[in-house]
């Protein structure tokens, strides 16, 4: 679909209806054009490469980095604590799976920070898609399974994570 902006001067246009000319939809204004620009695309190895973030006040949020060599770095900001996960990702049937091989916990209060430890039976599985709207890319992920050291750890993620590419 081609986003076109044209001024419609006829009075026969019904509010909320999209006018057509020669098989091409015409936008009534830039607001309507922006609504039609948010196309969803499936997850691919090429589309997820980069750093994606979602930050909240109080040092809460997420940072997902995906590299072209299939490595992933996931950072969870939990106020006074930061959890860092290193892994390898794969994408099958529009599901993103990150097999975690190392993890690290850091405390902001000046406690003892240890290095990375090997993770056993750990992975994150997400369903999702990517959207692009006004040249702004968003990665929308839904946790399907969050397993850390063989234990269900779904509480670390919210039901829908909307990450913005930086």
Q: Which residues pair with 145 in a beta bridge?
A: 125
130: left (phi over 0), alpha (psi -120 to 50) or beta: beta
pLDDT at 111: 66
φ, ψ (nearest 5 deg) of residue 47: -75, -20
Six-digit token string for 149: 């050291």
Question: pLDDT per residue over 60-90, tens digit each?
Answer: 999 999 999 999 999 999 999 999 999 999 9
DSSP-derived letter for residue 19 is: P
Per-residue pLDDT of 94-125, as tens digits, reads: 999 999 999 999 887 766 667 899 999 999 99
Note if the pTM is more than 0.85.
no
What domains appear along the chain, each with residue ranges and CATH number?
1-37 (no CATH), 41-165 (2.40.128)
- Cβ(96)–Cβ(89) under 8 Å? yes
Q: How far is CA 20 from CA 11, 57, 74, 90, in A?
A: 14, 45, 45, 42
For residue range 1-57, list pLDDT tens digits in order.
333 333 333 333 334 444 444 444 444 443 334 443 468 999 999 999 999 999 999
- Rounded to whole angstroms, how far apart are CA atoms 52 and 162? 9
């Amino acid at each position: 679909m081609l986003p076109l902006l044209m001024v419609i001067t006829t009075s026969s246009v019904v509010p909320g209806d999209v006018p057509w000319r020669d098989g091409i939809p015409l936008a009534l204004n830039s607001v309507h054009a922006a609504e039609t620009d948010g196309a969803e695309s499936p997850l691919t190895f090429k589309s997820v490469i980069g750093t994606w973030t979602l930050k909240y006040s109080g040092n809460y949020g997420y940072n997902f980095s995906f590299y072209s060599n299939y490595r992933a770095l996931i950072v969870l900001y939990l106020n006074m604590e930061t959890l860092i996960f290193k892994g390898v990702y794969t994408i099958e049937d529009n599901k993103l799976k990150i097999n975690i091989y190392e993890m690290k916990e850091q405390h902001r209060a000046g406690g003892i920070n240890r290095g990375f430890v090997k993770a056993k039976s750990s992975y994150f599985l997400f369903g999702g898609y990517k959207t692009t709207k006004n040249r702004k890319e968003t990665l929308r992920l839904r946790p399907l399974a969050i397993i850390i050291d063989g234990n269900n750890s779904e509480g670390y993620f919210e039901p829908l994570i909307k990450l913005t590419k930086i």
